[in-house]
Structures are given as structure tokens and as C-alpha cells.
Amino acid sequence: MSSIDLGGIPATQFPALTRATDLCLRLARAHAMLVRRFDSALGSHHGISYGDFQLLNHLARAPGGRLRRVDLAERLGLTASGVTRSLLPLEKIGLVAREADPRDARVGFAAITPAGLELVGNATDVVDVISRDALRALPPEQMAAMADVLGQMAGMHAANS
């Protein structure tokens, strides 16, 4: 087995990871594990991805079941075009609908349909089971503290959570 040439520097000579870098790498790994589990369960039970669930969940919890596309993009951490690409298949199967703003034709809304609302309600049960299983070893106060820290990292506040 050959090794990669690191320019004469033994791998053991690379600097140790800082706590911040180690935490971010672990966070990314945990995220990837959760997304795989959510995608698998949601796909087999409800025919949607975890990304679809997140989009529907934000719409379901928004006032009137609708959000401007730009606000949805911010909440999902996507670009406006990314949101448009995510919405198209959901529109085609009747889970979301486009709505125009009667006062400003440039503004477009995404709105959850009754079918989308029912689906996300059922899918929330699946997501909750997986979430509780993944976090079962953590005491509630640690979960609350982690949620606060992650919300701060993501720039979340009452208007965009």
C-alpha cells in the first residue's frame, strides 16, 4: 500500500486541530448522519427528502402557510434559485403552490397546500422519532443549550426560525 506524498512532511507533523475546528468537523459529520437517516426514513415512508421536509415545515409554520421566496431561501440557507429548484417538484405534486402579491407583482410567495400540510404533519412524526433516537443520551438541559448555541451560529431569531 502506498502513501500520499505530503512533501516530505509526516502526517503526524501537521498542526493539531483547534477546538473550534474539531467542533465544526464533528457538527458537519453529525449533520451528514442525521440527513442520511432523515432522507432514508422520509423517502420510504412519505416519498420526500429531508430538504423537502424542511421546506414544507417552514411553510406550515409561517403565518398563513406562506412565505416570500426570498424569506424561504434565508430560512433554508439556500439561494433564491435553489429555492425555486426545490419548489418545482413539490408544486408538480401539489404540495405547494405559487402565489403572487396583489400589491407587488415582483414578489412571489410559496404557499403550502392542504395536501402539503397533511404530509408534513405526518412526516413530522418520523422526524421526531429519529431526532429523539439520535439525542437520547443527552439530558434535556444540554439539548436546550445546544439548540441555543446552534441557533446563534445560524443567526436565527424569532422572525426567521
CATH label of the domain that carries residue 141: 1.10.10.10
- Domain interval for residue 137: 51-153
pLDDT in tens, the chain (161 residues): 456 666 666 666 678 889 999 999 999 999 999 999 999 999 999 999 999 999 999 999 999 999 999 999 999 999 989 999 999 999 999 999 999 877 877 778 999 999 999 999 999 999 999 999 999 999 999 999 999 999 998 888 766 66
Q: Is residue 125 part of a domain?
A: yes
Q: Is residue 17 part of a domain?
A: no
pLDDT at 158: 64
- Residue 55: count of CB within 10 angstroms of its CB: 27
* Residue 97 main-chain phi, psi, to 5 deg: -135, 155
Q: Is residue 37 part of a domain?
A: no
Q: pTM of the predicted model, to two decimals? A: 0.84
Using alpha carbons only, give the angle 140, 33, 128 rounded to the nearest 5 degrees: 45
pLDDT at 106: 75
pLDDT at 6: 63
Q: Is residue 65 part of a domain?
A: yes
* 37 CB-contact burial (10 Å; exposed 0-12 / middle 13-18 / buried 19+): middle
